[in-house]
Amino acid sequence: MTQDITIGRTAAQKKPGTFELRLDPRVTDPSSFKVSFLILLDGDLVMSPEHLGVAYMASVLRSVGFTAEIREVEHGDSHHAAVIDHLRAYRPDLVCFTLMSLNLTSCLSLCRQLREALPDTPIACGGPAGTFAGLDVLRNNPYADIVAVGEGEPTILDLVHRLYLKEPLTECPGVCYRDADGGVHQNPARPLVHDLEVLPFPARDQLSQHGDKLEYVRVSTSRGCVANCTFCSAPHLKNRVQAGKAWRGRGPAQIVEEVAQIVERHQFRTFDFVDSTFEDPDGGRVGKKRAGAIAQGLIDRGLDIYYNVCMRAENWHDTPEDHALLDLLTASGLEKVNVGIESGTAEELLLWEKRATVEDNVTIIRMLREHGIYLAMGFIPFHPYATVDTLIANARFLRDNSGHNLRRMTERLEIYPGTAIVRRMEGDGLLAETYRQDLDPYGYEFADDRVGRLARHFAQLYNNDDYHRHGVITDQSAVFEFETYNVVLQTFITRLQRRFGMLSGVDEVMNRFKDTVHEIRQEMGQFNFTFFMSNLESVMSESLDTDKQAQQVVEVEEYFRDRLDRLRSEQLRVGKRLTRLGARVSEISSSLPPVRPGGLPRQYTGEGSGATW
């Protein structure tokens, strides 16, 4: 990239939203300034190693000559101690954290240790929590000096320039900061980056570090969202912090080029397109034309890849055009879609301000199943306004549509700053003090205490207090393990059938296997529904006790462990049958199988703790 960036005082001379890469000529030795980006691997939603926000910021800094490292920090004191030792040796000029509601406590602890080890090193935080609660972050984290608000690329480059030149932050847009006397201040926000194609491709340090251990590599084809879901803190029209278009997209050609570079340089071919909605900006003709162009570009480039996207239910209809587009997407590698179904009741869809109806949700579930695309469903049955009636209706909806994942039936709402549902809860007196103090994502009360008791009961079934209280997964229960394995299993089926379906006998083997998997999933859906209703009745009759709960933990673990073992055993047998039919099962791996001197390519196996590619 050879673009310029507008920094500091010259920003006002440029059109709002213009982002140009340029190094200030007063910076004579940019490589001497070192930035350490620390990724806290805490929480259910943020444990995947690929963090694109950090990757983009590191790439921007490197593109003009600054030095930047990306370092993961696993959950736990021993991992924190190791990172502090590293930072003492590395001696960064700036340390940056990306804040989510789920990692605030971990960040506070690490910042305290960092301040003791490197007392003069500035500490900056960003991410969703920083964007919507920047001043609160500074007040509650006395060790942090700076909080970035909004998109990070222009701000990190401007900030690093100012720190290098020892200029004050009073005129740095897009930050909250602590002054020399301890006072906290918030500067005006920057406008959104209008043209995303001026950004360099994100740094792939974590891909280089982890290689084929990653489940997928993240790619962002757009930013922003045109929906207004009340629980979501993604940038949209009703929670805007920065001026500019709510949705901005990159062109299909540049997206295909980024994917091609990753395939060629890293031999990796499983991707997660992290856009809020893949078929935006309108969910209709314009957005679907863009999605189709991306798919066709992948095909024309000969990229043998697999990928996931997010979609909205109301955008898809049982028409020849939409079925044809899904055919094109699957032909280009689409294998999994995340849809925010959220509820099986009309009243809750209104609460979340979803545009989809219950009928829309049923339609997209059926259409994805018909096209062999795995549905990763967002669902929120437990929230402050849930009732016994909505819980029963949602349990029935899941049983009839996708009930084999028990956690969907028992999921709790996580609340984030900048969302409409938090404002409503505050007005209704349902926010707890823990949310006000440290943005606790479960810091709320339930309007119906029976619903609250059941929600807390289910949260304790799967894991230890790290998950129950903080949403952090440390011990993997069979319920979580099945949820992960279920995705692997589905991609095993679809990848093999797409690649080897033309071989004699393959379709017959795979169809029998699919029937077996469907039968087990249906049985699990009924088990989950019965289990859910039994617990609901116990809460209603006030007969739920700690002994019964302890026994349920054992029963649920044993049940899901048995189904995992059955499915894995059958999967292993299918793999062997397909190999005898001539199907080279290793060809469906997430990374391209290397040719090793004196040996065969890496083979797919269903043995061990879980199926791996």
Mean pLDDT over 478-507 rounds to 91
CA–centroid distance for 33 within its chain: 31
**What does the chain come to in residues?**
613
Q: What is the pLDDT of residues 531-563, one digit of tens each?
A: 999 999 998 888 878 788 788 888 999 999 999
Strands 175-178, 270-273: pairing is: unpaired
Closest CA to 38 of 132, 118, 123, 163: 123
Judge whether 297 and 260 are in contact, CB under 8 Å.
no
d(CA 171, CA 162): 10
CB atoms near residue 209 (< 10 Å): 13
pLDDT on residue 475:
57
pLDDT on residue 421:
96
pLDDT on residue 596:
36
pLDDT on residue 329:
98
How is the chain split among helix, strand and coil, in percent rounded to 5? Answer: 50, 10, 40
d(CA 461, CA 406): 11
Q: State the DSSP H helix or E strand holding residue 567, giving kind and residue range, or none if neither.
A: helix 546-580
Closest CA to 153 of 301, 54, 72, 243: 54
d(CA 12, CA 33): 26
pLDDT on residue 412:
93
Strand ranges (DSSP E) for 51-144?
67-74, 94-98, 123-126
Share of the chain above pLDDT 90, in %: 67
DSSP 598: T
In degrees, rounded to 5, the angle at the alpha carbon of residue 444 between the alpha carbons of residues 439 and 450 is 155
How far the first Cα of the chain sits from its last, in Å, is 35
Phi, psi (rounded to 5 degrees) for 124: -120, 145
Residue 8 binned pLDDT confidence (cut-offs 50, 70, 90): very low
**C-alpha distances out from residue 238 to 8, 234, 235, 286, Å:** 29, 10, 8, 23
Asked whether residue 529 carries a pLDDT value surpassing 80, the answer given is: yes
Mean pLDDT over 386-397 rounds to 97
Share of the chain above pLDDT 70, in %: 90
Structure tokens at 464: 């230890």
In degrees, rounded to 5, the angle at the alpha carbon of residue 584 between the alpha carbons of residues 568 and 508 is 65
d(CA 310, CA 600): 36
3-state secondary structure 282-321: CCCHHHHHHHHHHHHHHHHCCCCCEEEEEECHHHCCCCHH
Residues 6+ apart with CB under 8 A from 453: 539, 544
d(CA 223, CA 131): 15
pLDDT on residue 14:
60
Helix (H, G, I), strand (E, B) or coil at 145: coil
**C-alpha distances out from residue 555 to 126, 467, 542, Å:** 42, 19, 21
pLDDT on residue 220:
96
Q: What is the pLDDT of residues 155-192, one digit of tens each?
A: 999 999 999 999 999 999 999 999 988 999 999 999 99
d(CA 612, CA 605): 6
Structure tokens at 273: 């397109």
d(CA 168, CA 162): 7
pLDDT on residue 301:
97
Residue 593 binned pLDDT confidence (cut-offs 50, 70, 90): low
Task: Please give the single-letter amino acid code of residue 435.
Answer: Y
Q: What is the pLDDT of residues 400-422, one digit of tens each?
A: 998 899 989 999 999 988 899 99
Judge whether 184 and 21 are in contact, CB under 8 Å.
no
pLDDT on residue 45:
45
**C-alpha distances out from residue 525 to 372, 402, 454, 494, Å:** 19, 7, 19, 22
Closest CA to 610 of 215, 273, 266: 215
Judge whether 127 and 99 are in contact, CB under 8 Å.
yes
d(CA 310, CA 218): 13
d(CA 229, CA 413): 13
Q: What is the pLDDT of residues 98-156, one digit of tens each?
A: 887 778 888 899 999 999 999 999 999 998 888 888 888 898 899 999 999 999 999 99
Structure tokens at 262: 């990753």
Strands 270-273, 217-219: pairing is: parallel
pLDDT on residue 598:
32
Asked whether residue 463 carries a pLDDT value surpassing 60, the answer given is: no
Q: What is the pLDDT of residues 234-249, one digit of tens each?
A: 877 677 788 888 899 9
pLDDT on residue 357:
98
d(CA 276, CA 264): 27
Question: Where is average pLDDT lowest: 42-56, 299-313, 332-346?
Answer: 42-56
pLDDT on residue 553:
82
Asked whether residue 610 carries a pLDDT value surpassing 70, the answer given is: no
d(CA 579, CA 606): 13
Helix (H, G, I), strand (E, B) or coil at 27: coil
Q: What is the pLDDT of residues 445-459, one digit of tens each?
A: 999 999 999 998 888
Q: What is the pLDDT of residues 31-81, one digit of tens each?
A: 999 999 999 887 544 455 688 999 999 999 999 999 999 999 887 778 899
Burial category of 310 from C-beta neighbours within 10 Å (exposed 0-12, middle 13-18, buried 19 and up): buried
pLDDT on residue 460:
79
Mean pLDDT score across all residues of the chain:
88
3-state secondary structure 254-279: HHHHHHHHHHHHHCECEEEECCCCCC
CB atoms near residue 82 (< 10 Å): 13
pLDDT on residue 567:
96
